Amino acid sequence: MSEAGRLIVVSNRLPLGPNPSGGLVVALKDAFHEAGGIWVGTSGRIEARPKQRFDSHPGLAFERFSFDLTQKEHENYYLGYSNSVLWPLFHGRADLMETRPEFLEDYRGVNARLAQMLASELHRDDVIWVQDYHLLPLAQALRDAGVSNRIGFFLHIPFPALYDIMALPNSEEFIGWLGGYDLVGLQTRRDVARLLEVFRSRPDAELLPDGSAKLGEQRIEARSFPVAIDTAAFAREAASAAASRPGVALEPGEQLIMGVDRLDYSKGLPNRFKAFARLLETHAEVNGLVTLLQIAPPTREAVAAYQDIRTELEQLSGQINGAYADLTWTPIRYIHRAVPRARLAGLYRQAAVGLVTPLADGMNLVAKEYVAAQDPDNPGVLILSDFAGAAEQMEDALLVNPFDLDQVAEAMARALKMPKGERCARYDALMDGLLREDINWWSRSYLKALRGVSRGLS
């Protein structure tokens, strides 16, 4: 173990089970091995009398510290303020925001309770890394409890424009929450620019020459750290999955276009289906020879906006299939269910086109997974929305404006007949970037920056 202080990671959901998987677990494996530490998060249990507990597991390099939520906290902190206020607002959908005083009250309450629990467990040289929008107030709550350790935040979703922040019922308080952190990590340079614009607009904030900001007594560094995947491991998984499992049954000459998204209104699925219909309408030569496979597992079904998007998509896929299907061909295969990861990797490799068209997205890991899964000798083509954070790094994809259905349809037509030489050149360039800036690069660069910040005013 190194001399560095322990790493304390806080995320809404704690990775559970004896052998937890997932992007963040992989990302933090080395860091926990080096420094040891604790991962803190909700237990997934709803209890009338919430408890907190430590557990450790011989295979894990970190201790787990979990806490339960009450039903009311789950509804107000998680479904309410986090997913009915912050999520829509940060994805440019202030119109879908549902604000209620009790949402904010419990959002503050859960963060304050967590800060109290955590403050007494901390050592002086621990560094604390807080993940995502559920926990924005945590640093300020920890500072109120007397914690002076280095505290970093990483936002996985887009940072909103100043104009959008004005739509929050508590916009002043929101900006104050950021003021508890030493380092605010965002997905893209575009997000950093928006954050700096917020600081610039405030009389109590000062932008320092080194690019950081001073808010009250706190110096805050804001930088982009584009989140990534375990590229080499995913490429291996896709190659072995494709070799050992059958993909989708296709007619000779038929090509697959594939999308994978949680069923969320930010992912632009209705636009995608409409753009696919536009392709069928304007390129009769592909009818019968192309299938759109859309995997869209359910998510946050207790929130009304998610029920609406489900109904809209079911109607759209029904209409398009009704208009174009024949006895041997169904243009859209829409699967409202999760598919096991290894299966997904094989399907990505089978697909001639990866279609990633969110209207707003922090990064979008599906874009990275699709490229990593390709056969280097015969790769498919990624079509990627300009509104996904990934577009900032993945310029060799076919970049599209997801609101422009004709442009997306034309990109699909182009991708379906792209010559192998061009596909390989684009794949090589994209894959170079994904191997260089992978998930370990992401966590190492963030933690290096966090351990390097000097506490207090410069």
Q: Cite the DSSP H helix spans in 245-340.
A: 269-282, 304-324
Q: Does 258 bind ligand GDG (CB under 6 A)?
A: no
Identity of the residue, 277 or 388, whose beta carbon is nearer to ligand GDG in the bound complex: 388
Number of residues forming the site for ligand GDG (CB under 6 A): 19
Angle between helices 231-244 and 341-350 (to 10 degrees): 80
Q: Does 6 bind ligand GDG (CB under 6 A)?
A: no
Q: For the CB of residue 133, give the shortest distance to ligand GDG in the complex, in Å.
A: 10
Q: For the CB of residue 368, give the shortest distance to ligand GDG in the complex, in Å.
A: 8
Q: Look up 123 and say whether it is catalytic.
A: no
Q: Look up 361 and say whether it is catalytic.
A: yes
Identity of the residue, 199 or 265, whose beta carbon is nearer to ligand GDG in the bound complex: 265
Q: Does 295 bind ligand GDG (CB under 6 A)?
A: yes
Q: For the CB of residue 102, give the shortest distance to ligand GDG in the complex, in Å.
A: 26
Q: Does 344 bind ligand GDG (CB under 6 A)?
A: yes
Identity of the residue, 238 or 277, whose beta carbon is nearer to ligand GDG in the bound complex: 238
- Among positions 73, 361, 410, 437, the unique one binding ligand GDG when judged by CB under 6 A: 361
Helix (H) or strand (E) holding 72: helix 71-73
Query: What is the β-pairing status of strands 255-260 and 205-207?
Result: unpaired
| Cα-trace Rg, the chain | 23
Identity of the residue, 89 or 365, whose beta carbon is nearer to ligand GDG in the bound complex: 365
Tell me which of 126, 361, 396, 438 is the catalytic residue.
361
Beta bridge pairs of residue 382 = 354
Footprint (CB under 6 A) of ligand GDG, residues 180-239: 227
CB atoms within 10 A of CB 109: 17
Beta bridge pairs of residue 213 = 207, 220
CB contact at 8 A, 50 and 70:
yes
Q: Does 410 bind ligand GDG (CB under 6 A)?
A: no
The token duo for 283 is 């390129």
- Among positions 362, 379, 380, 402, the unique one binding ligand GDG when judged by CB under 6 A: 362
Q: Does 345 bind ligand GDG (CB under 6 A)?
A: no
Identity of the residue, 124 or 337, whose beta carbon is nearer to ligand GDG in the bound complex: 337
- Among positions 61, 115, 260, 316, the unique one binding ligand GDG when judged by CB under 6 A: 260
Q: Cite the DSSP H helix spans in 160-217.
A: 162-165, 171-178, 189-200
Distance CA 32, CA 53 (A): 20
Give per-residue burial for 18-41: e unless 16+ CB within 10 Å, then b: eebeebbbbbbbebbeebbbbbbb
Tokens 């997205």 belong to: 361
Q: Does 438 bind ligand GDG (CB under 6 A)?
A: no
Residues tagged active-site: 156, 361
- Contact positions vs ligand GDG (CB under 6 A): 156-157, 227, 260, 262, 295, 297, 338-341, 344, 361-366, 369
